[in-house]
Structure 1
Amino acid sequence: MTTTTPGVSGTSRQTSPQQPTAPGQDPAPDTEAAPPEMSGLTRRLATLDRLVELGEGRVDQELMDDAAALLGRAGDRLRLSGDHTIVALAGGTGSGKSSLFNAVCGLELSPTGLRRPMTSSAHACVWGLDGAGPLLDWLEIEKRHRYARASALDQTDGAEGAGSLQGLILLDLPDHDSVRSEQVAEVDRYVGVADLLIWVLDPQKYADFAVHRRYLEPLAGHDGISLIVLNQVDRLAPEEIDECVKDLRRLLEAEGLRAPRILTSSAKSGAGIEDFRDVIADTVAARRARTRRLIADMDRLIQRFEGAFGSVEPPTAVDDKRAAALVEALVDAAGISAVAEAMESAYALRALDYVGWPLARLVARLRSDPLRRMRLGELRDELRAAFTTPVNAQQAHVDNALQDVTEDVVRDLPPSWRRSVREAGRSHAEALPETLGAALRAVVPSFNQVPGWWWAVRIWQYLLLVVAAISVVWLGAIAAFAGLKLAHAPTRLLGEAGVAPYAALVLVCVLGLGLLTALAARNTIALTSVKHSERMEQQMREGVASAARELVIAPVEQELAVYARFRDQAGHAIRDVAP
């Protein structure tokens, strides 16, 4: 950084370079903003940060990028010196901004002339070096274009006095109408970060469409940190100056600047230079330009969020009708009714294998009924597939159900939020079949499970069968001993023919009791199999409803909650910044 001081004769001399404050050095304490302004800036920063967090991936990406960039720039600027105010002189070729720059500095630091472009890179003159180094590095001012102003004329006993420029970083920007695109981009960058913008216009081109449309019109709302200087008024008669100022004010007000500040000056004659310097000195002394610039930028950006939310109060939950329709669609897609019917048939067939009359089962085996074996095999294969693999849900059916569940809740939402809510409803679509299969497997009992009463009936049937067998043997013994006289009977129960009716009665009773037991068991099975399948179906439905709640409805309601918070934050922020 080159330190320059005016000599006694008014010419300049150059001393040895001084090192700027190193990047990373702690900046001087920030005394720029009055507490109310800093409080307003802090509130806006917090609000904008929440809007970016809530709107990321949901709101227009360009708006999100601009908001994130502004937050980053604000954070950088607030971490750097608050004792310095960045004032940028901007203007077109021949407007005389470099002459004004030199007039304020008191030295010929920036080249002047009509050659296009004259100022090829930004020049900076600094009053007060402490803490300025990191700020100049952030501004990316080339070291050969940095100047330190340390004259006794600018300070009073080392302290800031009336009209002091201590803490000023004055920038002379390249011409905004330069033929070189990189210089125009440099102007755009500095216009976006300067604490105070001074637009230098000349009487001939003060209504230039380029500067008004490209810079002044977009900066509407930045009245507090903008100053318009009509330079080179030495070329005009006094009455022409007033006419130019009135016309310029009319243009600026039409472009949205509510109370534009306009000064007139002439670097050639010196007219208005002292007033111009006093305005800069007052701005630097107040140390509020940085905060006001950031507040103006945030207010302008926050207003762009107005189109990102709707005026209708959003729903907070999926209504019961839509939730029930989703569950029914998933139940149908998972084939739960078919599984329940298969469970009922399998339950009945397996139960008959246990509680049926053994003689009837023996006859059935002797008859070798292929349809029964095939039906039982199909049922077992079907159930085994349902219990051990993901549900083969009909994807089209599932897709329709996932779309239908969000239709009512997104009706009054902006397009971007409609998309995000629908995407939330489909966020677990791939995991849904496996989850439904797990819900079914958790409910359906194992094939090896056998109710206790089946075993009791089976044992009872076999006991009856044993008694029947004994009765048959008894009758055979009576026939052999009493009828055929094959041998002497060991007991009267085997040797007397009169006992045969009793043995036959026992056999008939046992067979009848067995058949009655089988009939009663069959009726019981018919009732219990229906209840069993209904219970299984209800439990499977509850599992599907739980999966639908967890994987579909909950994400949709969470997204609606995010939108509600975003809408509330954005609405309050826009009302706060409304003029």
Structure 2
Amino acid sequence: MTTSAIPANSPAGTGGIPIVPADASGSAAPAGPPAGPPGLTDRLAALDRLVQAGVGRLDQPVLDDAAALLDRAGQRLRLSGEHTVVTLAGGTGSGKSSLFNAICGLELSPTGMRRPMTSKAHACVWGLDGAGPLLDWLDVDKRHRYARASALDLQHADHSLQGLVLIDLPDHDSVQAMHRAEVDRFVAIADLLVWVVDPQKYADAALHRNYIVPFAQHTGVTLIVLNQVDRLAPHEIDDCVADLRRLLEAEGMADPRIITTSAIAEDGTYGFRDVLVDTVAARRARTERLSADVDKVAERFADYRYPADPPVTVDDARRADLVQAFTDAAGAPAVAEAMESAYELRASDFVGWPITGIIARLRSDPLRRMRLTELRDELRNAFTGPIGAQQGDVDNALHAVTEGLSQELPAHWGRSVRAAARSHATEIPEALGESLRNALPSFNVVPRWWWLVKTWQYFLVLVAGLSVVWIALLVVYGVFDIGGQGKSSLIGDAGLIPYVTVLLVCTLGMGWLTASACRNLVALSSAKHGDKMEHHMRVGIEQVAYDKVIRPIEEDLQVYARFRENVDIALGR
């Protein structure tokens, strides 16, 4: 039997390790869904996605603990998978150092009843290949690293423990804070937790409160060793084990593994040694420990979801209410009404009776003239910034669209959906104004029939004017007989005056009737024009509502839906 200090190997790098770990072979975790129950790498990848989805949404301590686990798991999986890290932890006088020495076969760790006895973690390794970086990551002082040359030690058959890294820890109840911190650190990273207790203090409150209860879910990677049973009678051993089991089960450990040992009896450690041999041979303790850690953290994420399937889209009713609220906030109905008035005013310049228009212009209405010439620019300039839609109306619309959705989600995700709805709140008024500006038509384009009517009306004006001139000539040449016998009968025959007058009256009547009929047509078409304008504006408003509100909300709902799926994967379901 020989021992030697483990040579200094290059330390295992721990910085810059990705959160999503690789498997034991070093390959990246698969991206697709697992065919069966998810493996450890799939669960860790799902946990990483949970952390990413929870940033800014979930409680930071949960995210920090999950990120720490991902970092620790990534590092552990990149280190030796051929070694199993087993820690011996316990209180003062429990005999863990004696048990450590008994398994190692040498006095490697100091023993005694004074407090504290072991001040630094001591490690004994069976199999050196790959152990150096692992011990560097465990931060075991090189002065307290030992190796068993088991390949040459055939007498004791230590090769059965090939791959074991057995660590003796300081007392968890030490008066030195640094010793307790050392225990806490190793308890968080060991592959197999071995708690060594003695018959007198197995119910120690500090042990159960600080370690047993918090790690009750780690039953599969926890072993309880009742040491120093040589002090008890056989029937007392059974009573002590039964009482210890009852206590552990009451604290949440399901079917705890308990073995009895005696470091001074000749065969007192055989049972413990057999457990170590089986654990090392199976080489599952590393993944089982990490799986237990993932279980514990994933259950905390499960508290942030409801069992019912969540909505993943904004329903049609809420969409319609939001668009209507934005339409009212932007004043689209008033704009459409203004457009109808502008349409009628502009039409009057084309289809109205020009003589009436001339009379109206003689009265000079500057307000009307300004409205005709400046209305388009005024309307376009009106939809800028918050003038296009009041921020208060927008905020009320955003609150209404998320009120029902947030009630169907857990509180944290409800807040997230409300925040998503308001992510572009300050941009919405200007965007609504821009959508209305883009919907305004060009006033320089008029229907063709307006031009036809205008041509006809001016033709009638020309006929009426010629009729007036004709009547005047008939009066001058026919009534007053100016010009003598050489004048034409068309202007010299006074008997034509009644006929020309009838022509004048008919022309004026036709012009008035044409203007009246066209005004009715314009009134009908202006209503359609206003409806068309309101439809165009509503299409633009719907696009603004989708881009600025609906899409962010649905993206957040989909994040929550994927979050629920990843919780199931992280839980191994």
TM-score bucket (shorter structure): 0.7 to 0.9
Q: Check conservation: 1:339, 1:386, Cα contact below 8 A.
A: no
Residue 108 of structure 1 deviates from its aligned partner by 3.0
Residue 132 of structure 1 deviates from its aligned partner by 1.5
SS of the equivalent of 1:409 reads helix
Q: Check conservation: 1:305, 1:570, Cα contact below 8 A.
A: yes
Tell me whether 1:23 sits opposite 2:22 in the alignment: no
Partner of residue 413 from structure 1, selected from 409, 416, 419? 409
**Counterpart residue identity of residue 119, structure 1:** T
**1:304-323 equivalence runs, <5 A:** 304-323=300-319
Q: C-alpha offsets along residues 541-575 of structure 1, whole Å, 9 cap, x if unaligned?
A: 23323332343233333333333343345357658
Distance in 1 (CA, whole Å) between partners of 2:421 and 2:229 is 66
Q: Check conservation: 2:43, 2:569, Cα contact below 8 A.
A: no
Distance in 1 (CA, whole Å) between partners of 2:58 and 2:284 is 33
Query: Using a 3 Å threshold, how does the CA distance of structure 1 residues 155 and 234 change in structure 2: closer, same or farther?
Result: same
Tell me whether 1:441 sits opposite 2:430 in the alignment: no
Tell me whether 1:198 sits opposite 2:197 in the alignment: no
Distance in 2 (CA, whole Å) between partners of 1:305 and 1:292 is 20
Q: Check conservation: 2:150, 2:157, Cα contact below 8 A.
A: no
Distance in 1 (CA, whole Å) between partners of 2:554 and 2:384 is 32
Query: Using a 3 Å threshold, how does the CA distance of structure 1 residues 528 and 117 change in structure 2: closer, same or farther?
Result: same
Structure 1 range deviating more: 43-52 or 62-71: 43-52
Distance in 1 (CA, whole Å) between partners of 2:119 and 2:36 is 36
SS of the equivalent of 1:107 reads coil
The unaligned stretches of length 5 or more in structure 2 are: 15-21, 27-34
Tell me whether 1:464 sits opposite 2:460 in the alignment: yes
Which residue of the partner structure matches residue 223 of structure 2?
227
Query: Using a 3 Å threshold, how does the CA distance of structure 1 residues 209 and 170 change in structure 2: closer, same or farther?
Result: same
Q: C-alpha offsets along residues 54-102 of structure 1, whole Å, 9 cap, x if unaligned?
A: 4444344333332333233222222211101111111123323223222
Tell me whether 1:510 sits opposite 2:499 in the alignment: no
Distance in 2 (CA, whole Å) between partners of 1:247 and 1:212 is 14
Structure 1 range deviating more: 128-137 or 563-572: 563-572
Partner of residue 519 from structure 1, selected from 516, 519, 524? 516
**1:217-296 equivalence runs, <5 A:** 217-269=213-265, 272-296=268-292
RMSD, aligned CA? 3.3
Distance in 1 (CA, whole Å) between partners of 2:404 and 2:452 is 56
Q: TM-score, normalised by structure 1?
A: 0.86
Tell me whether 1:563 sits opposite 2:552 in the alignment: no
Residue 402 of structure 1 deviates from its aligned partner by 1.6
Which residue of the partner structure matches residue 529 of structure 1?
526
Partner of residue 358 from structure 1, selected from 339, 354, 357? 354
Partner of residue 327 from structure 1, selected from 310, 323, 341? 323
Q: Check conservation: 1:127, 1:150, Cα contact below 8 A.
A: yes
SS of the equivalent of 1:522 reads helix
Residue 386 of structure 1 deviates from its aligned partner by 4.0
Q: Check conservation: 1:331, 1:544, Cα contact below 8 A.
A: yes
Q: Check conservation: 1:52, 1:68, Cα contact below 8 A.
A: yes
**Counterpart residue identity of residue 66, structure 1:** D
Tell me whether 1:497 sits opposite 2:494 in the alignment: yes
Distance in 1 (CA, whole Å) between partners of 2:287 and 2:325 is 57
Which residue of the partner structure matches residue 9 of structure 1?
none
SS of the equivalent of 1:430 reads helix
Residue 147 of structure 1 deviates from its aligned partner by 2.3
Tell me whether 1:404 sits opposite 2:395 in the alignment: no
Distance in 2 (CA, whole Å) between partners of 1:222 and 1:406 is 41
**1:365-376 equivalence runs, <5 A:** 365-369=361-365, 372-373=368-369
Q: Check conservation: 1:27, 1:131, Cα contact below 8 A.
A: no
Residue 228 of structure 1 deviates from its aligned partner by 1.4
Residue 190 of structure 1 deviates from its aligned partner by 1.2
Tell me whether 1:130 sits opposite 2:126 in the alignment: no
Residue 105 of structure 1 deviates from its aligned partner by 2.2
Structure 1 range deviating more: 412-421 or 104-113: 104-113
Partner of residue 166 from structure 2, selected from 151, 164, 170? 170
Q: Check conservation: 2:191, 2:289, Cα contact below 8 A.
A: yes
Residue 195 of structure 1 deviates from its aligned partner by 0.6
Which residue of the partner structure matches residue 17 of structure 2?
none
Distance in 2 (CA, whole Å) between partners of 1:123 and 1:350 is 97
Q: Check conservation: 1:21, 1:130, Cα contact below 8 A.
A: no
Query: Using a 3 Å threshold, how does the CA distance of structure 1 residues 283 and 446 change in structure 2: closer, same or farther?
Result: same
**1:450-489 equivalence runs, <5 A:** 450-487=446-483
SS of the equivalent of 2:392 reads helix
Q: C-alpha offsets along residues 177-205 of structure 1, whole Å, 9 cap, x if unaligned?
A: 23333432332221111111111123332
Tell me whether 1:427 sits opposite 2:423 in the alignment: yes
Distance in 2 (CA, whole Å) between partners of 1:553 and 1:47 is 27
Distance in 1 (CA, whole Å) between partners of 2:98 and 2:154 is 23
Distance in 1 (CA, whole Å) between partners of 2:141 and 2:465 is 115
Q: Check conservation: 1:326, 1:401, Cα contact below 8 A.
A: yes
Distance in 2 (CA, whole Å) between partners of 1:23 and 1:574 is 30
Q: Check conservation: 2:221, 2:285, Cα contact below 8 A.
A: yes
Distance in 1 (CA, whole Å) between partners of 2:270 and 2:152 is 14
Residue 492 of structure 1 deviates from its aligned partner by 3.0
Q: Check conservation: 2:221, 2:289, Cα contact below 8 A.
A: yes
Distance in 1 (CA, whole Å) between partners of 2:565 and 2:203 is 42
Distance in 1 (CA, whole Å) between partners of 2:23 and 2:528 is 79
Query: Using a 3 Å threshold, how does the CA distance of structure 1 residues 180 and 450 change in structure 2: closer, same or farther?
Result: farther
Q: Check conservation: 2:110, 2:118, Cα contact below 8 A.
A: yes
Structure 1 range deviating more: 527-536 or 457-466: 457-466
Which residue of the partner structure matches residue 62 of structure 2?
63
Residue 127 of structure 1 deviates from its aligned partner by 1.7
Query: Using a 3 Å threshold, how does the CA distance of structure 1 residues 39 and 496 change in structure 2: closer, same or farther?
Result: closer
Identity of aligned residues (%): 61
Distance in 1 (CA, whole Å) between partners of 2:523 and 2:358 is 22
SS of the equivalent of 1:164 reads helix
Partner of residue 183 from structure 1, selected from 173, 179, 199? 179
Q: C-alpha offsets along residues 518-553 of structure 1, whole Å, 9 cap, x if unaligned?
A: 222222221111111112112222332333234323
Q: Check conservation: 2:150, 2:159, Cα contact below 8 A.
A: no
Distance in 2 (CA, whole Å) between partners of 1:201 and 1:122 is 18
**1:102-121 equivalence runs, <5 A:** 102-121=101-120
Query: Using a 3 Å threshold, how does the CA distance of structure 1 residues 383 and 482 change in structure 2: closer, same or farther?
Result: same
Q: Check conservation: 1:318, 1:406, Cα contact below 8 A.
A: no
Q: Check conservation: 2:384, 2:430, Cα contact below 8 A.
A: no
**Counterpart residue identity of residue 519, structure 1:** S
Q: Check conservation: 1:174, 1:187, Cα contact below 8 A.
A: yes
Q: C-alpha offsets along residues 292-347 of structure 1, whole Å, 9 cap, x if unaligned?
A: 11222222333333422223333343333322222221111111111111111111
